[in-house]
Structure 1
Amino acid sequence: MVHSTRRTFLGLTLAGITGVALAGCASRDSGPKVTLALSTLSNPFFADLRDGAAAAARSAGIDLAVVNAQDNPENQLDQLRTAAVNGSRAVIVNPVDSDAAKPAATAVMDQGIPLIAVDRGITDRTPGSFIASDNVAGGRQAATLLAELLGGTGKIAVLEGQPGASATRDRGAGFLEELRKHPGLEVVASQTANFDREDALDVMTNMVQAAPGIQAVYAHNDEMALGAAVALGSRAGKDVKIIGFDGGGDALDAVKAGTLSGTIAQSPRELGRQAVLQALRAVQGQPLQPSVRVSVTTVTSKNVDEFVAKSKES
């Protein structure tokens, strides 16, 4: 499975590009143009976010142009500089890196174009609206779940997300904040795996060798949790509890199978929908909501079937 990850991601990326092209053809010249600048489409989470945004754009009569930075801040800077001069009436950005996004945000804001950030914030820049899951609360929920699973005592490894991303900071901060309430739990290893499944496999393999007594893993996203599960093999979900963050399809399947002990589930389609609704307000000259927080759900084997059923209904 892991060796095919890059091929799977490539397929998702190509499918995403095709989908965007088709959506653009359907909506071209049918309404005001809005650019959605995504950090990547390799991660299924952001493909779902795009789909939620595209559906909302069709309903609102917006011509949504989606660009993919492929996790490269320089690509995103170029894309937003283009959006600043190509007639976009509003710009939605999901930063590759919250710190590095400042010049890209400035390029848009200096042109007087409303800027909406989704999923990740922008360091030292305040967009017109920031739509995100409650990542701090999600981090707290992950710590609470691990405390329950470990009976309040155990050694934990943390797989951090991409350095500089606000989601990385918030998910880590919430987790450590709640962990302080459980003195029997100890973080014995913490390292970035860049929100990437293959990176997580490598990092987790090294962590286990350096700290063989690890009893639990908290990963800042599902992709890293799944990579950790491969590295741990038959120990995953049994001797070593693994908690992810996102609530994607592969992770939910792993929760059902018992490989993952749980995931803090976001609603990426809702994030995309809310971002487009704010863009519509901007286009119509209405004031934007400075902050829109979308709740997260702790999903375990106890409620995974119910969560999946509700997700399909929405």
Structure 2
Amino acid sequence: MKKISNKVLSLFLTGIIAFATLAGCGQQGAKKGNETKKETTTASKKIGMIVSTLNNPFFVSMKEGAAKKAKEMGYELVILDSQNDAAKERANVEDLVQQGVSALIVNPTDSDAVGNAIKVANDKKVPVLTVDRKANSGNVVSHIASDNIKGGNMAGEFILEKLGGKANIVELQGIPGASATRDRGKGFHEAVDGKAGVKVVATQPADFDRQKGLNVMENIMQGNAKFDAVFAHNDEMALGAIKALKDKKVVIVGFDGNEDAKKAVDEGKLTATIAQQPDLMGSLAVENAIKVIKGEKVANEIPVDLKIIKK
């Protein structure tokens, strides 16, 4: 009887040990499951944003609008600066994909070159949205931007109205290859080309840069070109042109509506600017990136309103 009792006791103790081991494994598995769930949740709350350059008030405002919206919606936003370098842009995409972002917002340095960077994200199944400038290749789920063709058209029509339908105009272009350069130029030329008494006497790129805007404007003036209006594809170039022109009475129209441009309009130095809303662009980009992360449908094109600011 005693032998039987010992045997029963031994089996009983073995059962307890086995149960404890299984329970421990179950808890460990649950813990790992929770950790995995937590990691997934954290990843889904991280969005990457790549800006062409933060050496431009327009894109700084875009970044700030995006950061504010991300914070408001409880998402982490990692922002990298491409410094107008397509190679750095691709490296930035690789970095953010490696960090495990669940969506990527790209403001391209160049509409053609950015395609290679976007394909890096496409290969890793990371959805991409573009903002302000389009990508000419790669899979992009949504593009958030002003209607740049319409804006260029508004600038051309304003100049003609201001000068009574006759004008010699200088055009300062943005970065060659950027969709904003192409579209703003297209809209502008639709408004002014073929009109009697209207001539575009010089068209040169100044890469959306203030200092280059000044230098290009000085070169055009040294070439003795006669003109009474300047259309710059962004405010930075327009502000550079103002420095070159000094007190010369010329109608000058910029594009973007940044704070320096608004101040220049108030002071009578800049005739007008076609105002975008870069902070709203950034905000809408984040808002729609979150919709994509949640599996919601978004529009292929999301327009942001333009307005003309003049004194």
CA deviations over 1:187-218 (Å, ceiling 9, x no partner): 01000000000001110001112143111100
Q: CA deviation at 1:124?
A: 2.4
Residue 259 (structure 1) aligned with residue 269 (structure 2): yes
Match of 1:215 in 2: 228
**Contact 2:118–2:139 under 8 Å retained in 1:** no
Distance 2:266 2:83 in 1: 31
**Contact 1:147–1:182 under 8 Å retained in 2:** no
Residue 273 (structure 1) aligned with residue 283 (structure 2): yes
Match of 2:24 in 1: none
CA deviations over 1:4-51 (Å, ceiling 9, x no partner): xxxxxxxxxxxxxxxxxxxxxxxxx59610000000111000000001
- Give the counterpart of 1:70 among 75, 79, 83: 83
Structure 2 unaligned residues grouped into runs of 5+? 1-41
Distance 1:250 1:83 in 2: 32
Q: Which has the larger radius of gyration?
A: 2
Q: CA deviation at 1:183?
A: 2.7
CA deviations over 1:84-127 (Å, ceiling 9, x no partner): 22210000000011111010010011111110000000012341
| Same amino acid, percent of matched pairs | 41
Residue 162 (structure 1) aligned with residue 175 (structure 2): yes
**Contact 2:44–2:101 under 8 Å retained in 1:** no
After TM superposition, the score normalised by the length of structure 2 is: 0.85
**1:252 alignment partner AA:** K
Residue 283 of structure 2 aligns to a residue whose secondary structure is helix
- Give the counterpart of 2:152 among 139, 151, 170: 139
Distance 2:101 2:110 in 1: 22
Distance 2:101 2:299 in 1: 20
Residue 225 (structure 1) aligned with residue 235 (structure 2): no
Distance 1:75 1:266 in 2: 26
Distance 1:67 1:161 in 2: 22
**1:76 alignment partner AA:** E
Distance 1:182 1:113 in 2: 48
Match of 1:13 in 2: none
CA deviations over 1:217-254 (Å, ceiling 9, x no partner): 0000000000000000011xxx2110000001110111
Distance 2:224 2:304 in 1: 36
**1:214 alignment partner AA:** F
Q: CA deviation at 1:136?
A: 0.5
Distance 2:227 2:206 in 1: 17
Residue 189 (structure 1) aligned with residue 199 (structure 2): no
Distance 1:197 1:254 in 2: 14
Distance 1:241 1:211 in 2: 17
**2:60 alignment partner AA:** A
Structure 1 unaligned residues grouped into runs of 5+? 1-28, 302-314
CA deviations over 1:126-171 (Å, ceiling 9, x no partner): 4100000111100000001000111111110000000111000000
- Give the counterpart of 1:199 among 182, 193, 212: 212
Match of 1:309 in 2: none
Distance 1:97 1:186 in 2: 29
**1:80 alignment partner AA:** V
Q: CA deviation at 1:182?
A: 3.1
Match of 2:61 in 1: 48
Distance 2:306 2:79 in 1: 25
**Contact 1:131–1:294 under 8 Å retained in 2:** yes
Q: CA deviation at 1:283?
A: 1.1
